[in-house]
Amino acid sequence: MARSPSAAVAHGRDAVEWRFDALDLRPVERWLAQLPLRGGGAGGLPALTALVRPPMRLHDRYLDTEDSRIRRADLVLRIRRRGRQDEATLRAFSRPDPARPSRRPDITQLLAEAGTDGFGITGPVGSRVHAVIGRRPLRQVLEVRTRRRSFSLRAEGEHVAELTLDDTIIAIGDGGRPVPLRRVRIRIPTTRLDAYGEIVGELRTSCGLRNALLTKFDTGLLALGVPAPGPPDLGPTTVTPGSTLGDLSFAVIRRQLITLASREPGTRLGEDPEELHDMRVATRRLRAALELFAGVLPARAQVLRSELSWLAGILGSVRDLDVQLGRMAEMERWAEPWAETLHGSASVSASPLESLRQLLERDRAGCRGELLDALDSARWERLWSGLAAMARQGPARRSLAARTPATVAVPSLVTASHRSVMRAAGRAGRSGLAEDFHRLRIRCKRLRYMLEFTSELYANRSAPFARRLAGLQDKLGLMQDAEVATLGLMAAATGPGEHLPPAAVFAMGGVAERYRSEAADLLSGMAARLRILRRREWAELAKLMESRRLEALAAMPAARAPRRPLPPPAGSSLTEIAHRPPLPAPGPDAGPVPGPDAGPGAGEDTGVGAVETAGVEDGMTGADATGGPKIGPPGDGAAGAGPENPLLVPCRSNGHPARDDPIGGDVPEAAGHIGSSA
């Protein structure tokens, strides 16, 4: 088959379609007129004839919201006038690509009323549009008028291909000059492709056609000068080995916010469960970053982090049901022996778990409704606005902690998180309880997030250990999924509400036992998998981080002498001040920030760097006696303060920072705690 590899091809289930642009449609008309004089396809096939169909005049309007919600969901909404009724079509927004077939077929719906009021919230198009746009009103983006002529190419009276000639005018508002567009489209059924596919190359060559690289919608937007919606501009996201802690923290936060925004349209649409999963993961990572870098973020960051837990909970409800529905096929295979045994009863369906599937689908529909209400709420609008404003603001310029080299601050945080993982692993190995392994999974996840946040500081040399952690986390996740599935089956069988058939309850019991057996098998091999926490990859990474920390400390500027003596504290005599020994200033060989003795808590979405104090797990990043936030996990004693901590400013007894600060040089007397920021 003579076919250009770069041709604009759209693959369907029953046919393949090519689209070409033409400067003039008359050469194609002459080619059609000469078809009877040409031979057929390869192998001596009969000659083709063209049967003319009645011409059509199409009036299309393309709609979207002011903030391009439909286009950001990778969709195009078209309203086409057909006689006295409008037809809505929702199609994937994708340019013709020979290597990538269309991801989803076009979805159409006849509208009960003219205009956008005819959508409603039901129907194949209306329900999807309502989910994507929420409460945003639709507006007309583009108007296209087309005169279409279609020809049926036939061989011995049988249809073998369809050729369409479109003469299109794209209207430009405000008195602009209309844009003409001439397009040729040929569609061949897959059963006839091998025999007649070569006519595509012949048509393209003899008529001087060009591959259509843009759709009509693309062409219209280009003529109108409408830019493609991109990710939000929140500031720089680049991280280098020389980045400061403030640069690192805000780059990580901006990246997660961009992911959050890009996954929202797909989450609203609800057709791909992975879109919701990615949005949920971005929420988790964002909460982890807000806690890990609390010391260099504004105080309102922790309020925003608390609000993110609300969103994470709603996303998690839908995700849990997606996981259970995703395993229904596996559960039905497990239940096949019981289905064969119970099939003799007329009241039992072929699959005893069909009632369970219907129950889960109803629960998911209810949770998705709550999710869409949350994404349409003013609470989500305020949360996103607050996060975006903080990300655009960037690190405080006068914050000493924000100006600290990231390679100085990060090693102690990573080491403390690793110690927390080791303690959780020991506890889980001794108890063998599911909740302890769930806690270990959460702490492994936090440590992996921290390594991924900081990988560019070390030229991605933390990747081997991060991959090991990901593998361990996957195994722990399978154990947790089995536990959650078992509890979910028990709740569905014994909980209030709709009662399931006895056959379904019986099959669910067998499936629950299968899950428990899987969890036991994973538990038996967990001791060997936990050894990766002490393997060579971790030792090499710890050595690398320590060497980079020492290099960064050596490169820091030396402490400056004070320009003038500090005023004496109130109530102190000059004699006491004269005999008071000076405070030692930390030098370039100062040690790392002391890590915590107690690790993060058991909550899944609490982020990285939480602490255990007074027997309570999963606390937020603490504050010292002055009320200022700290960087990451607090250490033992007085918040890790002392000359060995290069991130804290040495303070005199009156609370004022000393002048011989090794990080920022001269500091005003009124400077606050190291963790505070404007």
State the pLDDT at residue 514: 81
> Hey, what amino acid is at 448?
R
Q: Which helix (H) or strand (E) holds 162?
A: strand 158-171
* Contact (Cβ atoms closer than 8 angstroms) between residue 475 and residue 300: no
- pLDDT of 533 over the 80 cut: yes
| 668 compared with 504, residue with greater pLDDT | 504
| b/e sequence 423-438, b meaning 16+ C-beta within 10 Å | bbbeebeeeeebebbb
Three-state SS letters, 79-136: EEEECCEEEEEEEECCCCCCCCCCCCCCEEEECCCCCHHHCCCCCCCHHHHHHHHCCC
What does the mean pLDDT of the chain come to?
78
State yes or no: pLDDT of 113 exceeds 60: yes
Q: How far apart are CA 582 and CA 306, in angstroms?
A: 43
More confident residue, 397 or 265: 265
Contact 664, 650 (CB under 8 A): no
Q: 269 or 195: which carries more pLDDT confidence?
A: 269
More confident site: 13 or 585: 13
Query: Is the four-CA dihedral 501, 507, 513, 517 of positive or negative sign?
Result: negative
In the numeric block, which tokens belong to residue 484?
């959650």
| Rounded distance between C-alpha atoms, residue 21 and residue 517, angstroms | 61
pLDDT band at 111 (very low <50, low <70, confident <90, very high): confident
The yes-or-no verdict on residue 100 having pLDDT over 60 is no
Q: Please give the pLDDT value at position 344.
A: 54
* CA–CA dist 568, 486 (Å, integer): 68
Among 41-50, 367-376, 618-627, 661-670, the range of highest mean pLDDT: 367-376
Helix residue spans in 525-572 (DSSP H): 526-529, 536-555
| C-alpha distance across the termini of the chain, in Å | 68
Helix (H, G, I), strand (E, B) or coil at 195: helix
Residue 98 in tokens: 């020979």
Amino acid occupying residue 147: R
Confidence of residue 302 (pLDDT cuts 50, 70, 90): very high
Q: What percent of the chain has pLDDT over 90?
A: 41
DSSP label at 137? P
Q: What is the mean pLDDT of residues 250-272?
A: 94
Half-sphere exposure of 512 (CA within 13 A, CB side): 15
How confident is the model over 414-446, as pLDDT tens digits?
999 999 999 999 999 888 888 899 999 999 999
pTM: 0.74
CA 359 to chain centre: 28
Query: Which residues, 6+ apart, have CB-to-CB distance to 200 below 8 Å?
Result: 1, 2, 3, 7, 18, 186, 188
Query: Who has greater pLDDT, 497 or 576?
Result: 497
pLDDT reading at 651 higher than 70: no
Contact (Cβ atoms closer than 8 angstroms) between residue 265 and residue 244: no
Largest CA distance in the chain: 117
Work out the percent of the chain whose per-residue pLDDT is above 70.
74
Q: What is the pLDDT of residue 540?
A: 92
Mean of pLDDT values over 567-581: 52
Scanning 270-299, the segments in alpha helix (DSSP H) are: 273-292
- Which of residues 501 and 357 earns the better pLDDT score? 357
Residue 26 above 90 pLDDT?
yes
Whether 663 has a pLDDT exceeding 60, the answer reads no
Q: Considering just the CA atoms, what is the radius of gyration of the chain in Å?
A: 33
Question: Do the bridges between strand 616-619 and strand 8-11 make them parallel or antiparallel, or are there none, so unpaired?
Answer: unpaired
The 10 Å Cβ neighbour count of residue 23 is 11
Give me the pLDDT at residue 313, please: 95
Q: What is the mean pLDDT of residues 362-388?
A: 95
Helix, strand or coil, per DSSP, at residue 452: helix
Burial of 527 (0-12, 13-18, 19+ CB in 10 A): exposed
| Cα distances (Å, whole numbers) of residue 86 to 58, 140, 547 | 11, 15, 69
User: C-alpha distances in angstroms, 589 versus 545, 549, 556, 560, 643?
Assistant: 15, 10, 10, 17, 11
Of the listed ranges 1-5, 86-90, 115-119, the least confidently predicted one is: 1-5
Cβ neighbour number for residue 520 with a 10 Å cutoff: 11
Lowest average pLDDT, out of 1-5, 319-323, 339-343, 406-410, goes to 1-5
Tokens at residue 511, please? 């499936």
How many angstroms separate the CA atoms of 260 and 254, rounded?
10
Residue 579: pLDDT over 80: no
Would you state the pLDDT for residue 40?
53
- Contacts for 199-202: CB closer than 8 Å, 24+ residues apart: 199/41, 199/48, 199/153, 199/161, 200/1, 200/2, 200/3, 200/7, 200/18, 201/2, 201/3, 201/4, 202/2
Cβ-proximal residues to 365 (8 Å cutoff; 6+ apart), any chain: none
Q: In whole angstroms, what is the distance from residue 94 CA to residue 104 CA?
A: 10
3 state SS of 605: coil
Q: Is the pLDDT of residue 51 over 60?
A: yes
Cα separation, 401 vs 587, whole angstroms? 17
> Which pLDDT does position 213 carry in this prediction?
87
Q: Alpha-carbon distance 256 to 250, whole Å?
A: 10
Distances (CA, A) of 27 to 42, 55, 57, 177: 23, 18, 22, 26
CATH numbers and ranges of domains, the chain: 8-224 (2.40.320.10), 245-538 (1.40.20.10)
**pLDDT higher than 70, residue 103:** no
| 187 vs 181: CA distance, rounded Å | 19
**Cα torsion through 249, 278, 459, 287, rounded to 10:** 20
Distance CA 32, CA 48 (A): 9
Amino acid letter for position 83: G
Give residue 639's pLDDT. Answer: 36
Better-predicted residue by pLDDT, 1 or 80 = 80
Place of tokens 């996990």: 633
Task: Give the pLDDT band (50/70/90) at residue 119.
Answer: low
Beta carbons of 280 and 319 less than 8 angstroms apart: yes
Using DSSP, state whether 52 is helix, strand or coil.
strand
Structure tokens at 606: 């609490």
Q: Which residues contact 465 (CB under 8 A, 6 or more apart)?
A: 451, 537, 538, 541
Specify the higher pLDDT residue, 319 or 8.
Answer: 319
**Cα–Cα dist 648/651, whole Å:** 9
**DSSP character for 394?**
-
Q: Look at residue 643 in the predicted model and tell me its pLDDT.
A: 36
Of 54-63, 328-337, 450-459, 584-593, give the lowest mean pLDDT range. Answer: 584-593
Which pLDDT tens digit goes with each residue over 219-231?
888 888 888 888 8
What's the mean pLDDT in 492-510?
76
Q: Where are the alpha helices (DSSP H) in 293-353?
A: 300-326, 328-334, 336-342
Q: Which of 110, 53, 107 shows the shortest CA–CA distance to 80?
A: 110
Task: Identify whether the C-beta of residue 266 lies closer than 8 Å to the C-beta of residue 277.
Answer: no
